[in-house]
Amino acid sequence: MGYGSQAGHRPVCRGAHRVSFTLLWIPATILASLLQTARNLTQRSLTDVIGVVGATQVRFLFGLPFAVLFLVVVCLVADRLPPSIDLTVFGYTVAGALTQIAATALMLAAMRERSFAVTTAYTKTEPVQVAIFGALLLGDALTPGKFAAIAIATFGVVLVSWKPGEKLSRAGLRPAVLGVGAGAFFALSAIGYRGAIQALPDGGFFIRATTILAFGLALQTLVLTVYMLVANRAALMSSLRNWRRSLSAGFLGAAASQCWFIGFSLTSAANVRTLALIEVPLAQIASRRIFAEGTSWRELIGMALIVGGVGLLLMLALR
């Protein structure tokens, strides 16, 4: 018995009751955004202590035990083994795992040069990219209304990140390139993981999402641990010495990914990543309260556009 149907969209029959999980992607994505904002803050604080690669590795190495625990619990409740992983699932998961590593490293590198909020805004150019990739690679539907919602929200992101009068120098361009590059790799990662979840041969949406989460984190942990043992053992040892903060980042990362993957199993990656733009206002709030980074009127207008675009997307999704 699984959680939901094979596709995750059809209702589940239980006696005289029919329960639909179709719109569960909305609260799952909102929770994922909250958890990811908290994880990014934790990783940013670790960057100064153990470096970019060390902080990148933390979310995977220390997140894997939690992902495995999630999978064990789901299998026990569902009374079944995880779905089998074939070459197609393996390929999609490898693509999602490796591009997520690259995205996280680029994001943390950008955060060392620009504010937490602005870097978050740069990475959130992702939805337009993920919508196009999803339509081309997975056949996800992209209606004119949905594309308009994505475009409005993304323009809000650009408005938040752009500073009037700022000269386009190499120093100013570098964090922008890093942030937008991170957004591109996050887009490819979302497509890879959604493709892997869809390619699993059986199981409900919950067990398929949790299976890919555990498998993806295992691959990422293996790749980064081997790399750091060879190239940066000091950062690996430092992350182990700072195990309390590392464990917090790992748990927040695993919990956020669990919610992201539930969203990917129920709707297109473009829908999930556009709703996830609520992270930009969350990052602004965090910047003001934690890092004493101010917010201008231009940034407030940009955030209003983000909220408006997200609101339009939800209206279309709820029809």
pLDDT tens-place string over residues 258-270: 999 999 998 888 7
Q: Which residues contact 30 (CB under 8 A, 6 or more apart)?
A: 275, 278
190-231 pLDDT tens trace: 899 999 999 998 889 999 999 999 999 999 999 989 988 988
Q: Which residues contact 124 (CB under 8 A, 6 or more apart)?
A: 154, 157, 183, 276, 277, 279, 280, 306
pLDDT attached to residue 18: 44
> Nearest-CA neighbor of 219 among 240, 242, 246, 189?
189
| Long-range own/partner contacts, residues 288-297 (CB < 8 A, 24 or more apart) | 290/41, 291/115, 291/116, 293/115, 293/116, 293/117, 295/117
| The Cα angle at residue 254 between residues 253 and 259, in degrees rounded to 5 | 100
Whether the model pTM is above 0.85: no
> Nearest-CA neighbor of 274 among 221, 224, 241, 317?
317
pLDDT attached to residue 117: 61
The residue that leads in pLDDT, 250 or 136, is: 250
- Mean predicted lDDT score pLDDT of the chain: 79
For residue 236, what are its two tokens?
């690996």
pLDDT tier at 17, thresholds 50, 70, 90: very low
CA 12/CA 227 separation, integer angstroms: 44
- SS3 state at 147: helix
pLDDT attached to residue 137: 74
CA 150/CA 180 separation, integer angstroms: 16
pLDDT attached to residue 232: 82
For residue 90, what are its two tokens?
């393996």
The mean pLDDT of 5-34, rounded to a whole number, is: 64
Is the pLDDT at 76 greater than 90? The verdict is yes
CA 216/CA 137 separation, integer angstroms: 20
Residue with tokens 């995205």: 103
pLDDT attached to residue 192: 93
Least confident window among 64-73, 115-124, 149-158, 272-281: 115-124
- Within 10 Å of residue 47's Cβ, how many Cβ atoms? 18
pLDDT attached to residue 92: 96
Residue with tokens 């990362």: 253
Residue with tokens 């997140």: 63
Eight-class DSSP state of 267 = S
- Which range among 107-111, 112-116, 163-167 has the greatest average pLDDT? 107-111
Is the pLDDT at 289 greater than 70? The verdict is no
CA 76/CA 3 separation, integer angstroms: 12
Eight-class DSSP state of 232 = -
Q: CA dist 77 to 2, 19, 164, 209, 266, Å?
A: 9, 18, 55, 15, 20
The residue that leads in pLDDT, 114 or 215, is: 215
- Which range among 130-139, 199-208, 228-237 has the greatest average pLDDT? 199-208
> Nearest-CA neighbor of 127 among 305, 319, 301, 287?
305
Is the pLDDT at 167 greater than 60? The verdict is no
Instruction: Tell me if 83 sits within 8 A of 208, measured CB to CB.
Output: yes
Instruction: Tell me if 270 sits within 8 A of 146, measured CB to CB.
Output: yes
